[in-house]
Amino acid sequence: MAKTSKKPVTARGELTRQKLLAAAESEFGEKGFHTASVSSITRRAGVAQGTFYIYYSSKEEILRELVRFMSRKLRHALTEATRGVSDRIEIERLGLLAFLKFAVEDKNLYRVVLESQFIDESIYREYYEHMANMYQMRLERAQQAGQIRKTSAYGQAWALMGIGSFLGLRYGVWEDRVPPDDVIEAALAFIRGGLMPEEATRQALS
């Protein structure tokens, strides 16, 4: 079992930990995991190299912490973007737009998650499986309310995550921008068509 990071007991310690995380995010995102080093992380954070090991035992450990941080930060961004909205199709629209914006603004974190599959596959799988499980529960509730098509909510969750992930990679990471409007609309049309209840889909096509 991977060793967990040491939780600071003082405000000053928490500030130092946050500096190390921010520095590691920049180092890994800009240089890649293997090129970045503990010394380069601590230099960027402005702390002594020995301080790193008060909080983390290795580069791998701080990478895992960053992946979990990305998960929490993304969930918060999506929650804020869809707060007060009850219609599932509209939630998907707002959520996709928020995710694509997030992929641009936090592209270093996004790169960290992508690279983690080659460093520690278990944390990479944990990131997506945790997200898919939470997504599944929300989609099941929408199915029960008659808002979306009744089928495998788990399958829906992974398909929807795939759309966002690859658009985020193609534009946010590779080009540092959100996708063009026509690309976003094409994705949203695909999502609407796949999620709308079958009767509503038939009516829309008739």
Assigned domain for 77 exists: yes
116 Cβ contact partners less than 8 Å away, ≥ 6 residues apart: 63, 64, 67, 123, 124, 127
**What is the token pair recorded at 182?**
């026509």
Local confidence band at 204 (pLDDT 50, 70, 90 cut-offs): low
Rounded to two decimals, the pTM is: 0.85
Residue 119, phi then psi, degrees to nearest 5? -105, -45
What is the pLDDT at residue 110?
A: 86
Higher-scoring residue by pLDDT: 17, 206: 17
The answer to whether the beta carbons of residues 63 and 24 sit under 8 Å apart is yes
Q: How many domains does the chain have?
A: 1
Range 102-128 average pLDDT? 93
Residue 30, phi then psi, degrees to nearest 5? -85, -40
CATH number at residue 89: 1.10.357.10
Assigned domain for 87 exists: yes
Assigned domain for 52 exists: no
- Per residue in 26-72, pLDDT (tens digit) is 999 999 999 999 999 999 999 999 999 999 999 999 999 999 999 99
Assigned domain for 30 exists: no
Enclosing domain of residue 126:
63-205
Assigned domain for 55 exists: no
Mean pLDDT of the chain: 91
Assigned domain for 196 exists: yes
DSSP string, 162-206: HHHHHHIIIIIITTSSPPPHHHHHHHHHHHHHHHS-HHHHHHHH-
- Angle among Cα 181, 168, 118 to the nearest 5 degrees reads 165
CA R_g for the chain: 19
What is the pLDDT at residue 201?
A: 52
Assigned domain for 127 exists: yes
169 Cβ contact partners less than 8 Å away, ≥ 6 residues apart: 103, 110, 114
Assigned domain for 107 exists: yes
What is the pLDDT at residue 206?
A: 46
**What is the token pair recorded at 44?**
């960027």
